[in-house]
Structure 1
């Protein structure tokens, strides 16, 4: 079975976490009966992934280039998979071939291009929508991270519910120190709240910074925001609100630094306006970090009742929620415990088992 990995560069956040965790777990299933070969771009030639349980072949394209990746996944990956004599293709990053070459499963993390094209950056919105619709039409089966995304696939993507498998994502393993309740002092030198993600509009970081300005200076924790490459567009927002001493735009961090931030933060705040699942919620919970998140149905699928919520459209509401939680260590402890219980309920092993079941349905649908 072939897996599209052209998109994987090591710098794309959630969709790459999905691949690392899912295929790592799939390789550990004792009776999966799946032999994998990855079809990657130039980036993985330079840094072969230890987490992928199979051979890697390469296309002469750069996954870092969105146009090159889109062209490869639309037109080149399917024929290459067929040339490798693969009996199935899994495209794990929202998009897949525009022509049916072999049985194909596509994981759709969200339908942002169709639901909110105004949030797709640059002049790519129309092209991305076309590729998304064609992907949905061609795939034999579609994996959705959540019931909310599955409903979108039916409502705006045009596929029947019977063609979609809902496979919730998993939480990373809980470390022994987190299980033992060990917490370290904040490495920032003062209490801080962590946030992270790309800088697309739906991540709602401008409103989060606005909310920070509403917290009285004497109560205001440091806000550490990770996830940006290069020049951070939030710099101007921080300057406009006079928060240079209170907001640390940390940029892209590696896994070790992120783990340290989770381990020392007073809370993780997730002010998003739209998600396909909300993997950072589970990652924070598994790290023993209390979670404050937008009151969205899809985030309740991920976090259950193990988090505090707020209206993401209200800067005063966000500010009030942060103030309450930062001032209440007992509630922080309750949320840590509840978050660890929730993280234990959603595992990557279960996600891998359900994904293999989807593969089998796709293959069976094409068997004469």
Structure 2
């Protein structure tokens, strides 16, 4: 038997963002599919207080929950090197989903690294966090037995920037939501989409679900949308996502543009409804290690327009329209093409559905199991 402990101490429900969804989707995929396929693997989860209640899909797993809440970053970091280390006794592999390894740890280490933003675009971080991550990330990557990444593109960045050997990297993409409570209310639902203001019922809208960080590039999409709106008085542009470092700038820009609705952070069920009901999901981000909303859109049969950079072309392939992230004219043309509803748009949607199947939960679970077994082997554990 190979005993695995998933370290979710870095997660603060509703605040950490895509990394929380990535981890919960993968562990849910294992709970639903992996346990039967890998009876030799026993999975348990460790987290700060209140994380378990936020993820009912993981309720059947054995859970170790700290009595401390994770709102304070320094407390989370300290807990990983004290409380978590004690809980790690007897486990063959500890999977750290937070992008860095604790100073003190036990067991073979799998480390999830979503991207290397602290090295590639350090200006996105405060000076203190930048210094810490630029020290902690390389140290953690080199100490891990296996580094799990969501895309081949991130793997290539680790190989190029940090000289991580390819045989220590496991590409483990996440999956789309399958919980009917999350995916309810999609296309064909008689009710208006959850989370969309009643005044916009019946209007076509384009959705961009992303926190307001500088690299998410909201400005290009808002400018392209304004040009399309001036010609057609549609579609509405709906923005969702938590507040990031560029929130004030994005909010001001959106307020000056016509037909923009900024909903802020919305719960997962509402986001799924919006994705399923949108005329398109637009994703102009300049830097992505994966791009989970793009997978959600393709799985839901919603047209996708994405930036032709970093991991997005790898994820989308021919299942959507790829545009240069700063090409405003290109984004205008892409939005107009979606509004036109051409046969080519319909063909891309079908190719998108086929591409999304590559990220089905059972495939995600299999990738996770392979990474755990590889770590156990590398450290001389059971297989």
Q: Tell me the equivalent position of 2:162.
A: 157
Q: Say if 2:114 is the partner of 1:109.
A: yes
Match runs of 1:1-368 below 5 Å:
1-11=4-14, 12-28=16-32, 29=34, 30-32=36-38, 33-44=40-51, 47=54, 49-73=56-80, 75-76=81-82, 79-83=85-89, 85-99=90-104, 101-121=106-126, 123-173=128-178, 182=188, 188-189=200-201, 190-219=203-232, 220-229=234-243, 232-233=247-248, 234-239=250-255, 242-243=256-257, 245-367=258-380
Q: Note if contact 1:171-1:348 (Cα within 8 Å) is conserved in structure 2.
A: yes
How many equivalent residue pairs?
A: 361
CA distance in 1, matches of 2:311, 2:42: 33
SS in 1 for 2:274: helix
Residues 66, 200 of structure 1: alpha-carbon distance in 2 compared, 3 angstrom cutoff: farther
Residues 214, 71 of structure 1: alpha-carbon distance in 2 compared, 3 angstrom cutoff: farther
Residues 200, 367 of structure 1: alpha-carbon distance in 2 compared, 3 angstrom cutoff: same
Over residues 68-92 of structure 1, what are the superposed CA-to-partner deviations in whole Å (9 max), with x where a residue is unaligned?
A: 334434x236513334x22210012
Over residues 197-221 of structure 1, what are the superposed CA-to-partner deviations in whole Å (9 max), with x where a residue is unaligned?
A: 1111111112222222333513241
> TM-score of the superposition, structure 2-length normalised?
0.85
CA distance in 1, matches of 2:344, 2:260: 24
CA distance in 1, matches of 2:251, 2:187: 35
CA distance in 1, matches of 2:315, 2:70: 29
CA distance in 1, matches of 2:127, 2:138: 19
CA distance in 2, matches of 1:204, 1:90: 32
Residues 334, 64 of structure 1: alpha-carbon distance in 2 compared, 3 angstrom cutoff: farther
Over residues 85-143 of structure 1, what are the superposed CA-to-partner deviations in whole Å (9 max), with x where a residue is unaligned?
A: 22210012322223453211011111111111112246411112212112112211111
CA RMSD of aligned residues (A): 2.7
> TM-score of the superposition, structure 1-length normalised?
0.89
SS in 2 for 1:215: helix
CA distance in 1, matches of 2:377, 2:59: 25
Q: Note if contact 2:95-2:109 (Cα within 8 Å) is conserved in structure 1.
A: yes
Over residues 213-247 of structure 1, what are the superposed CA-to-partner deviations in whole Å (9 max), with x where a residue is unaligned?
A: 333513241100001249942221123xx32x411
Q: Note if contact 1:196-1:226 (Cα within 8 Å) is conserved in structure 2.
A: yes
Residues 50, 90 of structure 1: alpha-carbon distance in 2 compared, 3 angstrom cutoff: same
